[in-house]
Amino acid sequence: MIVLGVLGVGYGFMDANSVTEENISDVIAAEHHGGHGDDALTTEAHGDEHAEEAQGESHGESASHAEESHGDDAHGGMTEHEEHALHQIHNRPYSALYVAAFFFFMIALGVLAFYAIQYAAQAGWSPVLFRVMEGITSYVLPGGLIVLAIAFVADSHLFIWLREGTTTVGHENYDALVAGKSGWLNKTGFFIRGLIFLGGWSLYRHFSRKFSIAQDNADDNRNFKKNFRISAAFLVFYIYTESMMSWDWIMSVDPHWFSTLFGWYVFASMFVSGITVIAMITIYLKSKNLLEFVNDSHIHDLAKFMFGISIFWTYLWFSQFMLIWYSNIPEEVTYFVTRIEDYKLPFFGMLAMNFIFPLLLLMNSDYKRINWFVIMAGIVILCGHYVDVFNWIMPATVGPRWSIGIPEIGSILLFGGLFLLIVFWSLGKESLLAKGNPFIKESEHFHY
């Protein structure tokens, strides 16, 4: 998977860079006529999307042109439109990598939050799943570093506020709105904050894993108590940093737009994908007879969480969408205008995948105990949340030139493979039963 992924990502970069200042006019012409030339770009995009793209451009582009302050003069003999299109084409492989890297990182972080909640709430049902959760959270540190590294390399390909001259008065890229935010949105601050967030999360993960393993052979509950205390502290730290992380890593791709409940919304997305992955990996390990102590009731509980948090996600998604749609203030509504015009299918498709599908599938109490049902619902939920991340990043970076092609699938394979490698490597290191946990007896006999 990783090899395939690397090939796909490499192809994506080559493909994007094959479009340069010299041939950009031809590419755009080909796009508009829906032609299937030899051009690398057209071989990849599907025929029917050309029609959409051609339509979308007249709306979407004029809107985003107005937003981004291009200089009056065209550069290097390109028209303004060509330059804009070239940026979008070049941004695509970066965004594809970033979306996939963030998606898998967010799963691990969601699991970490779930794990801390189980400790802080002294849940009696979940201790048998702790080792599975610890395995998944081993991806938090490498995954987070990868996200930051991609952000560092991609620079202004992803974050338009990193373009040269955005904050310099009189420069052709000068943007007064972004300049006003430069106290928060600057490269040094971004990475210092990113490292603090990541440092805090992985410190918690490191110590909680350490105490959890130490508890296995301990003759008292000291390690468990320590874990309880650091989990409570971590949750406070997490909810602040997660919110700021979502401003930095996600919301700042649209630096002109802001929303107050965005942090919660990102949290709901990561939480539900994390729980889904716990359920799927648990079912997989159980099918290999590695988790005899996990019974149907544990799966049932996880499926209830998947169901409940899916609806919580929808609630936040809708609250954000409806408030902005209702008041229709131009400066914030552009966010949804571009998404509905250029991303109709992913935007509303994810609503079906993340809400209607789990709502109807996981409502029945008996279905929540059927393993293949939970796996099927889990696959749809995960795809839905990938599309969710896709909808956060892509409209700001590639605009109407999106597609789910080789760069995107390659990135998913690359990070999916890496995720599975790290998670299962970590799962193999310790016994899968946290046997010293004071709640483990209750959890083994958990019955709902």
Partner 1 sequence: MEASKVIHAIYTDDDVLMSAVKTVKAEKHHIEEIYTPFPVHGLDKAMGLAPTRIAIASFMYGCVGLAVAIVMMNFIMIKDWPQDIGGKPSFSYLENMPAFVPIMFELTVFFAAHLMVITFYLRSRMWPFKKAENPDPRTTDDHFLMEIAVHGNESELTSLLKETGAVEINIVDKDEDAH
- 194 and 151 Cβ atoms separated by less than 8 Å: yes
Q: How far is the CB of 325 from partner 1 (least distance, A)?
A: 5
Residue 196: other Cβ atoms inside 10 A: 14
- 101 and 150 Cβ atoms separated by less than 8 Å: yes
Per-residue H/E/C for 273-301: HHHHHHHHHHHHHHHCCCCCCCCHHHHHH
Contacts with partner 1: how many residues (CB under 8 A)?
Answer: 8
Q: How far is the CB of 165 from partner 1 (least distance, A)?
A: 38
Of residues 58 and 328, the one with the C-beta less far from partner 1: 328
DSSP sequence for 302-333: HHHHHHHHHHHHHHHHHHHHHHHHHH--HHHH
- 90 and 12 Cβ atoms separated by less than 8 Å: no
Q: How far is the CB of 319 from partner 1 (least distance, A)?
A: 10
Tell me, residue by residue from 305 to 324, as one string, x for binding to partner 1 by CB under 8 A and - for no binding. -------------x--xx--
- 105 and 86 Cβ atoms separated by less than 8 Å: no
Dihedral of alpha carbons 32, 33, 34, 39, sign: negative
Q: Judged by CB under 8 A, which of 38, 77, 170, 326 binds partner 1?
A: 326
Say what the alpha-carbon torsion angle 356, 361, 365, 369 is, to the nearest 10 degrees. Answer: -140
Of residues 326 and 372, the one with the C-beta less far from partner 1: 326
Question: Which of 74, 56, 103, 63 shows the shortest CA–CA distance to 415?
Answer: 103
Of residues 211 and 357, the one with the C-beta less far from partner 1: 357
Of residues 287 and 365, the one with the C-beta less far from partner 1: 365
Dihedral of alpha carbons 164, 169, 175, 176, sign: positive
Site for partner 1 in 345-384 (CB under 8 A): 363, 365
Q: Judged by CB under 8 A, which of 152, 325, 348, 425 binds partner 1?
A: 325
Q: How far is the CB of 424 from partner 1 (least distance, A)?
A: 38
Of residues 9 and 324, the one with the C-beta less far from partner 1: 324
Of residues 168 and 364, the one with the C-beta less far from partner 1: 364
- Token digits for 435? 């046997």
Tell me, residue by residue from 46 to 75, as one string, x for binding to partner 1 by CB under 8 A and - for no binding. ------------------------------
Binding of residue 201 to partner 1 (CB under 8 A): no
The residues of the shown chain that bind partner 1, judged by CB under 8 A, are 318, 321-322, 325-326, 328, 363, 365
